[in-house]
Structure 1
């Protein structure tokens, strides 16, 4: 007997969007006709809710913009692929090899699975969609829920800021910010000739990828209903297997290195209504729905050999479903008053849920079930005003505002046959309301060739326990609430030394409150005669950082180059589960603060246009990054630091076709850069698997069959190189017989067809 997750009402807030659309169309009908215009605020990086475009050359910080056209041309379908050519940026993506009743080994200093920027990741990287905060990830000893609430087909751009950014973006922006920007109706209505926009347009796409045997289809329709009203609807779907690897052992037991049989299905819907009732107003109503499901036959969790023990697994499977729904109202007003030129308001509600159901059948006849859930419902409000002032040779653009986010976070663990002394149902941490509020101001001052940008944010967080019901009964102590306030200053300076060269630097601060699970997480289970316990830590302190960044930019007719050096100091970094006590019969883990840590490094990136060669034009790109990190309290390396990577790209474009080649070199992870104490089961002296160096080559081509139709082809890892990514394998022992299970795909092909109309 298996327990299956019930269907979630995937469109439960769609009626709200329809109602809003009807109201906006009615408002448009009432509006006086006038010249088509919309309010465009010049870009200033202040907060997640205010981010619109990143003019990276004018900012005294490290930023990248990844265009959706590039993602489409290279047929990117995972977050790792999207970010793989950015220096000092990585994505952790380990295979699903956890047994239903086993503990998670996903303990490392970066928090948990997600994006890693300059050596830190997990919830320290703020992820937003159109400026709306993504749900947090959560890892407990018996389950982990990551942040894959995304469908890349919905995005026209990904903006990445590296380094401490809490002064601009609030808490959780301590290591960096990644903002995913969805398409607008005008993206499909504008014409290539730059004339009047079409009244109806859209795009359809379909493709296949060999690395996960996946098929996808996506369709968008956009329309201009009147001079003041546009709308758009996008739907996507994908069906695939597990990501392939270079393993060769397909035995149905724990020696297996081939991926477990997996069925993955995901889909998304994006709806937008853009209303311009006058030349000084714009209102955007957005509905976004993303859902992912997976069914895995966990062959790798079964014990090999004979004779079997009664506790050995006979059969095991897992079903996972994650879902995120978002409704946003984004309004911009032209005021031209003494206190503000423009005002922007953002109101959003987001509901995210993750559920994993595992069934385990033991040789003893026991049927073990684990039904684990994590839910996060968030309201977010943003108000931002800006004012341009001039005084003599100085001009100032002052931006100020208020951000507020309130999340209701719950978890539930249920099932059959729990390991003693636990009993189901229970909660690993109590129901929690987590809020953050921030007041900020920034002054972008320009005097001649100098731009000076001071800023300050006052940020307050509160973690409030709202119910103790089912909190790990019997919990030895109730869950604790926590709150705090921080002043977060920043100062950026940019000097345009010549028309081609500019020099910049910034001092920035970072700040992140503990997560609800880190403060109050509890776990206790006896396995193989050893009692494994995670105890709560109500005395956890917020993480803080101070960072300095210095860089130089060159912009020539054909060459663009950026060189940046950075050094960040951290206090009270949170390690999710450190072994604090060990005896022959018991291991005790706890989330703890690392008093002092330091991360430093540099980044080099750019491109060169070789000009016209034959019928086309040749262009190449380059990126190189290196980072070092140390726990200065214990004088140990930080395991979350990714080895150096070099990316070289070469592209040749003609009118009807293009070809490209991407070469990537991954440096080896050195033993001296691995902390042997904090990793895995915290066994001092354990030798860990250190990834060897590797070089890969990808080739691709695009044939533009017509103005509106293009065919994309790609052949990845052309040399069929076996290699591993460090974020996937730390905690794996050297000499492991199953290390190939964590390797990357071998040679694989992709093909897609895209048509605009």
Structure 2
């Protein structure tokens, strides 16, 4: 009881500090809420015209002192998270954590490839995580935040407009535009940034320059360079072996370039040509993978890992004002994108024979994407009170996926090189239409999309199976309604269907070990795998006054044919009858929850923000909880402008404890580790030195609180002796100096 009372006292102190730090110091909060959103209708709409929950981040919300990567981006968004587990792995054995880095986004309990990621409308590479690749795992962090100017996060199914992978929601990023840096009448402008983050000793330099070559032509060029080390934690054991709880030493280097040319001869058309390239190279010294003593041929004396990632994109975005009977506006997007990732693990076993002392496994994964989309928009007045606006179009994508496993001294049951799935071509053809019937008080917004998905797997000598292919169709309807029952107030409802096609690895995953004594096993393709589908309902309320804005929403989703990757389907474990695993459509899942947001301008100089999110998830076929759901979270932030030069603020974040009743602990000896509740306090300051210079600083976790994020520890046992290795960073400072010209 005394410990619990102490925790509550700390929480009270944290909330008081958040309030005092911001109200006594000062800033006119963030910029006003953005005037438009794009993801909700595939074209610009006012937020109150979209029956969906969309977070829009831009301006100071992307301040480089506060946002260095995608993990920082969603730090203060309840029901949205990014998994980044501790980097702990072995060389060739399955398991381990952290090799995927910032793995990807979790929205309302769903993650991975169930969340659609876009940059300038172009689809980002998929996540590839499976024990059959050993410790290798490929996340979705193909971004450099220094190139990003705006982010929209839509929660809930978005397949009616965007198709496969929009089952859980969308994270859509927009790179910076030339006009964002060009002052009226100026022909040259730019921004330079220097930033440092103590959490991972991330050092970043960035330069973006934009120019206007003529009345019609403008251009932009950006270069971002970064270096980082391992992400800090609150472990204390610094031993160079498996008892270690301090982070494993890492070095990461990243570079990114962006080039744009924009031709806008008049107000009726705009053509944009974009080239983007990102590289990331890393090396980790996996001290935690070393044996405590070197006493047997299996003892490991040294273990290292490497990472190489590349993404290159060329795109053309054309927009026209056509003023025809069939459309007012038209847009065409053409894009080519190549992504390559490679991870290696190298270990040294000194008591092995000389020829087999050093083992290495290298896994390569690649995607080549061709994307084309055409859409048009038409608005028609239906008289005094009603109007109709229609968006319709065509989407085409073709993606080539490949993988390769090579190395030295493979396990006795394998020969390098090999492939875990055959080279696969995925094609998607889609037609979509959304119509908005609107009056001053009501909006009715039906939408429908038809998708044709084809996965063609090619025979390959490095893949010793008959590969499975897939062809399927999906209809994704949606119906949204808005009732503006009073000035500044509205109720809205949105029912939407979603779907996600299986991935190439899920369809044709192959691995075989028939040499295990009493435990022979394999994974095989599943030609009968079906797409996942969903039906979600969202009910919301919005209210806006002169100094405040409020939004509350309740949601419920039913998901069918959830794909579970490695499910035992037959076998007893002998060489003649091995235990056989497949990816199967196994579970039905229900997700439900609430979200609440408030923005209140207490004074012209002081703004308060509050956000709360709660999600519950259940696997209907077993009655057990869905472990990817994060615990409830409350965020309270205050900002105050002290004067024209100084802006100060603070954010308190409280996350509830993960309860045993909310965790599926089946197959986990010792029970699951359940992180306790925690409250953290961050404070920040921005100093506008003069018109061109700004210095920003943030202190995170001011009280140096020791805590664990559920998304990073789920699946770990409560008896794990190195659980501190998975703790979050302690107190850390980040700073950024920005020069505009």
**TM norm. shorter chain > 0.5:** yes
Deviation at 1:523, TM superposition (A): 2.0
Distance (whole Å) between structure 1 residues aligned to residue 36 and residue 736 of structure 2: 36
Contact kept in structure 2, 1:330 and 1:345, CA below 8 Å: yes
Q: Where in structure 2 are the equivalents of 1:247-286 lying within 5 Å?
A: 247-286=235-274
Distance (whole Å) between structure 2 residues aligned to residue 234 and residue 527 of structure 1: 53
Distance (whole Å) between structure 1 residues aligned to residue 580 and residue 239 of structure 2: 34
Contact kept in structure 2, 1:544 and 1:572, CA below 8 Å: yes
Q: Which moved more, 1:547-556 or 1:730-739?
A: 730-739
Going from structure 1 to structure 2, the CA distance change for 1:527 and 1:416 (only over 3 Å counts) comes to: farther
Q: Is residue 101 from structure 1 mapped to residue 89 from structure 2 by the alignment?
A: no
Q: Is residue 461 from structure 1 mapped to residue 453 from structure 2 by the alignment?
A: yes
Contact kept in structure 2, 1:95 and 1:259, CA below 8 Å: yes
1:574 aligned to which of 555, 563, 580 = 563
Q: Is residue 126 from structure 1 mapped to residue 125 from structure 2 by the alignment?
A: no
Distance (whole Å) between structure 2 residues aligned to residue 587 and residue 747 of structure 1: 48
Give the equivalent residue in structure 2 for 1:750: 734
**Superposition TM-score, scaled by structure 2 size:** 0.91
Distance (whole Å) between structure 2 residues aligned to residue 215 and residue 348 of structure 1: 31
Distance (whole Å) between structure 2 residues aligned to residue 582 and residue 84 of structure 1: 45
Distance (whole Å) between structure 2 residues aligned to residue 577 and residue 163 of structure 1: 26
Deviation at 1:496, TM superposition (A): 0.8
1:58 aligned to which of 44, 49, 56 = 49
Contact kept in structure 1, 2:225 and 2:254, CA below 8 Å: yes
Q: Where in structure 2 are the equivalents of 1:336-347 lying within 5 Å?
A: 336-347=323-334
Give the equivalent residue in structure 1 for 2:359: 368
Deviation at 1:583, TM superposition (A): 5.7
Going from structure 1 to structure 2, the CA distance change for 1:259 and 1:123 (only over 3 Å counts) comes to: same
Q: Where in structure 2 are the equivalents of 1:419-438 lying within 5 Å?
A: 419-438=411-430
SS of structure 2 residue aligned to 1:519: helix
SS of structure 1 residue aligned to 2:661: helix
Give the equivalent residue in structure 2 for 1:325: 312
Distance (whole Å) between structure 1 residues aligned to residue 389 and residue 37 of structure 2: 11
5+ long unaligned stretches in structure 2: 1-34
Q: Which moved more, 1:225-234 or 1:364-373?
A: 364-373
Contact kept in structure 1, 2:65 and 2:197, CA below 8 Å: no
Contact kept in structure 1, 2:706 and 2:727, CA below 8 Å: yes
Q: Where in structure 2 are the equivalents of 1:340-359 lying within 5 Å?
A: 340-359=327-346
Give the equivalent residue in structure 2 for 1:408: 400
2:73 aligned to which of 51, 57, 82 = 82
How many pairs are equivalent?
Answer: 692
Q: Where in structure 2 are the equivalents of 1:352-751 lying within 5 Å?
A: 352-363=339-350, 364=352, 365=354, 366-392=357-383, 393-471=385-463, 475=464, 477-525=465-513, 530-531=519-520, 533-580=522-569, 588-612=580-604, 617-653=605-641, 654-677=643-666, 683=667, 686-751=670-735
**Superposition TM-score, scaled by structure 1 size:** 0.89
Going from structure 1 to structure 2, the CA distance change for 1:77 and 1:97 (only over 3 Å counts) comes to: same
Going from structure 1 to structure 2, the CA distance change for 1:224 and 1:684 (only over 3 Å counts) comes to: closer
Give the equivalent residue in structure 1 for 2:176: 183
* RCO higher in structure (CA 8 A, sep ≥6): 2
Going from structure 1 to structure 2, the CA distance change for 1:633 and 1:704 (only over 3 Å counts) comes to: same
Distance (whole Å) between structure 1 residues aligned to residue 45 and residue 591 of structure 2: 25
Deviations, residues 373-404 of structure 1 (Å, cap 9, x unaligned): 00000000000011111222321111110011
RMSD: 2.0
Deviation at 1:698, TM superposition (A): 0.5
Q: Is residue 116 from structure 1 mapped to residue 118 from structure 2 by the alignment?
A: no
Deviations, residues 397-425 of structure 1 (Å, cap 9, x unaligned): 11110011110000000011111211100
Structure 1 residue runs of 4 or more that deviate by more than 6 Å after TM superposition: none
Going from structure 1 to structure 2, the CA distance change for 1:255 and 1:552 (only over 3 Å counts) comes to: same
